Structure 1
Amino acid sequence: MRKRGVKSVLDVATGTGFHSVRLLEAGFDAVSADGSADMLAMAFENGMKNGDHILRVVQADWRWLNRDVHGEYDAIVCLGNSFTHLFSERDRRKALAEFYAMLKHDGILILDQRNYDAILDRGYSSKHTYYYCGEDVAVEPEYMDEGLCRMRYRFPDKSVYHLNMFPLRKDYTRRLMSDVGFQRIETYGDFQHTYREEQPDFFVHVAEKEYRMEDQEEGSYGGAVSTARSYYNSPDADAFYSSVWGGEDIHVGVYAHPAEPIADASRRTVERMASGLGLTEGSRVLDLGSGFGGSARYLAETFGCFVQALNLSEVENERHRQLNAKRGLTGRIEVVDGSFESVPFPDSSVDVVWSQDAFLHSGNRLRVLEEIRRVLRPGGRLVFTDPMAADGTDLSALQPILDRIHLDDMGSPGFYTRELIRLGFVPTEHEDSPGGFEDLRAQLVTHYGRVLEETERQEAEGLGAKVSSDYLTQMKKGLTHWVDGGEGRRLTWGIFRFTLSEG
């Protein structure tokens, strides 16, 4: 909160006042709200006992928060797993809308919840690292299903208490926040941004109110790119792509046979794209949407060239840097956080622009192509792949896929070819790509089918310990749509090879 310049904070689930007192001690201007008058009386008393803090308390129901609490705040905190006490989706939406309305235009909501995904999918366990009721209190679910979590608390005096809560799944909570207007939501597991190997006890959601127009940049991130950034920064996506999609190479593969390992086919795509580029130790390559950096490492190791790897996901970029360091490639690969809609490099500064299956995430692909033209030297090469709509496809037939990737449209071979020629590119002479495009639609079908098979195989072997069941369910549904679209010739994929004219 300090980093964001927060001064005024509304604690909407004050309870016994613990968080309100700590906020006051930290120098924030805090107001304490709770639906229980008894709790507020206890909070006020605890404030006096712990530092002579006079709490400003307000009794308020979340559903009518604006009626009972006045003013706007830099931040609202809803902590202590309190939001799970709402059992009606209508009440949850109403409460979040009230939170949203009480925030200033650039305010944030911080809301925590127990990791019910883990409890529902794998049973209850707790590390008791950050959240616990004390060493002498035993806590465990007495009953659990998708609609009720009944927790039992046993105390040393043999007294037993029960608490009923709604088991909110992480992604469901994020969707509710998005539905009421929050555009960017970051989720942490036990205060860590990534948590691939361990299941956290609690999730903490940080939701931003600040509204950004679709064409407004978030730093260098436009609307659609910002959505993709949040997705690829998520722990579920990070764990899934590193475990299932091929490890270092997270793009569509070129398969020698349908049962080939994904990683082998994905590396063959890289080799096929690199052939004929004429790379040397003096070449400078810009990799747009570099992911975990498999392609960048292949190019740097094979040809000795220098690679600038631009990518929107800070989580992927950190893994990329670590893998580069292990291979002794830090000096030959520069990993840069950024967007291909606003490339942070000078004009005519690179010899080759390279990209794999990234441009579909842009809401302004023409701008991406213009940026490529700007940074590429005359005579420089462009080689890229992208999952696309087949030429002439009615986009309404692709709606399930567009909904999945949160986009209004997709590129097509005709679009890319037409716009590149208009920008001064000419097709590169290559036996596999007359006219600048090598159509490999069948490979898209094979690849997404293989990823679906691998997802189901690893799921049976415990992938759910790393990736939430909701994410896997949505992923399998999405992969099926991609396979169907490719088989129905509504989708295609392939390699573009173009050269920027020197004239």
Structure 2
Amino acid sequence: MTSDEKWDTPTLGSILTTKGGSSTPVNESIAKYTKYFDNDGNSLKKEESAEICSRYYELVTDFYEYGWGQSFHFAPMRKGDGLASAQLHHHYLIALKLKLEKGMKVLDVGCGVGGPLRNIAAFSGAHVTGLNISKYQIERARHLTQKAEMNDLCTFVEGDFNNMPFPDNSFDAIYSIEAICHSRDRVKTFTEIKRVLKPGGLFLSQDWIVTDHYSPDDSSHKQIIAGILEGDALTRLDTASHVESCLIKSGLHPLEVADYRSKSQLQWSHPLQAESGKFRASKLGRLCTHGLLYVMEKIRLAPKGSVDVHNMLCKGADNLVKSNQIDIFSPLFVTVARK
């Protein structure tokens, strides 16, 4: 299976429904989400990061699939690469770096709807368990995995990565792709990962960070990062050195620490830009989506609040692109560590 294959890819019509089996209308859900942030996009309640994250993915998962596919992450891109092929190459690289083999037990921390997980399991033959705090994403991952006929290699568990429902020394290897940036306490998260990882096992994390070019004293920098926080359900962004120090404090031993944005021939934000050739990323594409959602809301084919969700995602995307233009942020910070 590859990221290019489409399993029940959502259409605009299918995404405009209540998420996660909740009875909460979309407009109420978006209001509850945005209350966690102030007018500048700064998180007000860092202690509630798990609820912030769960509320966010209840709202946006199907929008992500509609515009992004089933792998919700960035990847180093070569010239001529599409996003899906770049992601697939990245999944293979993760499997190789973790030295995955048939019969190994692997954990995906923050698995989304399971796109990377299915690719890694199919490539390596390892059994991969996906852990996710979002009930809706777990349900979606199970559905897509059944459609792909991969239930023999893929399992999904709803749970918090700071309190995992697994015994000590459960997994031969663990990875996480753009998920631990949601943690309010990286040392606690890494310590829990170490607990469930077998001695000698490898852990790979791809994380979101602010680069050395970011200045907390620069108001324009702070405004861009605040837009990323609100648009992507984050309570904070840390530096590369802070992430590495948290790994060490947890007792894990870093083997590789690298920012993979330097390994990309194209800018990492390329999939979000009109230059990518994707109509949905263009100004006209966004305008069409916005207009369609607005009309559907007015005639009650879409629930009230759908336009607000789209606006929130566009805000996050715009600030990601801005952060790349001045090189203050990276979504491609990779660490490999051993227990």
When the two structures are superposed, what TM-score results if normalisation uses the length of structure 1? 0.51
Percent same amino acid among aligned pairs?
24
> 1:227 is matched with which residue?
52
C-alpha displacement of 1:260:
3.7
Cα offsets for 1:4-33 (capped at 9, x unmatched): xxxxxxxxxxxxxxxxxxxxxxxxxxxxxx
Distance 1:413 1:240 in 2: 30
> 1:250 is matched with which residue?
72
| 2:63 partner letter | F
C-alpha displacement of 1:178:
6.5
- Greater mean deviation of Cα atoms: 478-487 or 465-474: 465-474
Distance 2:146 2:31 in 1: 37
Pair 180,369 (structure 1): closer, same or farther in 2 beyond 3 Å: closer
Is the CA contact (8 Å cut-off) linking 2:231 and 2:317 kept in structure 1? no
> 2:168 is matched with which residue?
347
- Structure-to-structure mapping, 1:330-479, within 5 angstroms: 330-391=151-212, 393-395=214-216, 397=221, 398-428=225-255, 435-440=256-261, 443=264, 446-453=267-274, 454=278, 455-457=280-282, 458-459=285-286, 462=289, 464-465=292-293, 468-479=306-317
> 1:500 is matched with which residue?
338
C-alpha displacement of 1:403:
3.8
C-alpha displacement of 1:307:
0.9
C-alpha displacement of 1:176:
7.4
Pair 329,409 (structure 1): closer, same or farther in 2 beyond 3 Å: same
Structure number, greater radius of gyration: 1
Distance 1:406 1:319 in 2: 20
C-alpha displacement of 1:442:
7.7
Structure 2: unaligned runs, 5 residues or longer: 1-12, 14-24, 38-44, 294-301
Structure number with greater CO (CA < 8 Å, separation at least 6) is: 2
SS of 1:378's equivalent in the other structure is: strand
Distance 1:447 1:172 in 2: 34
Cα offsets for 1:204-246 (capped at 9, x unmatched): xxxxxxxxx864xxxxxxx112111111112xx122111111x
2:105 paired residue among 284, 304, 314: 284
Distance 2:33 2:208 in 1: 30
Distance 1:374 1:239 in 2: 33
Is the CA contact (8 Å cut-off) linking 2:213 and 2:327 kept in structure 1? no
SS of 1:298's equivalent in the other structure is: helix
> 1:136 is matched with which residue?
none
Number of residues paired by the alignment?
A: 286
Structure 1: unaligned runs, 5 residues or longer: 1-117, 119-168, 182-212, 216-222, 429-434
Is the CA contact (8 Å cut-off) linking 1:262 and 1:447 kept in structure 2? no
Is the CA contact (8 Å cut-off) linking 1:383 and 1:495 kept in structure 2? no
Pair 490,271 (structure 1): closer, same or farther in 2 beyond 3 Å: same
> 1:311 is matched with which residue?
132
Does structure 1 residue 485 correspond to structure 2 residue 310? Answer: no
| Structure 1 or 2: more strand by fraction | 1
> 1:16 is matched with which residue?
none
Pair 171,262 (structure 1): closer, same or farther in 2 beyond 3 Å: farther
SS of 2:107's equivalent in the other structure is: strand
> 1:175 is matched with which residue?
31
2:118 paired residue among 297, 322, 325: 297
Distance 1:337 1:444 in 2: 37
Distance 1:179 1:424 in 2: 36
| 2:117 partner letter | A
Q: Pairwise CA RMSD of aligned residues?
A: 3.1
Distance 1:423 1:173 in 2: 35
Cα offsets for 1:152-176 (capped at 9, x unmatched): xxxxxxxxxxxxxxxxx95488427
| 1:273 partner letter | I
Is the CA contact (8 Å cut-off) linking 1:224 and 1:407 kept in structure 2? yes
Cα offsets for 1:394-427 (capped at 9, x unmatched): 3462233234345442122111212212333333
Cα offsets for 1:18-55 (capped at 9, x unmatched): xxxxxxxxxxxxxxxxxxxxxxxxxxxxxxxxxxxxxx
When the two structures are superposed, what TM-score results if normalisation uses the length of structure 2? 0.74
C-alpha displacement of 1:500:
2.3
Pair 445,228 (structure 1): closer, same or farther in 2 beyond 3 Å: farther
| Structure 1 or 2: more helix by fraction | 2
Pair 180,340 (structure 1): closer, same or farther in 2 beyond 3 Å: closer
C-alpha displacement of 1:383:
0.9
SS of 1:499's equivalent in the other structure is: strand
Does structure 1 residue 275 correspond to structure 2 residue 96? Answer: yes
Is the CA contact (8 Å cut-off) linking 2:33 and 2:52 kept in structure 1? no
Pair 180,459 (structure 1): closer, same or farther in 2 beyond 3 Å: closer
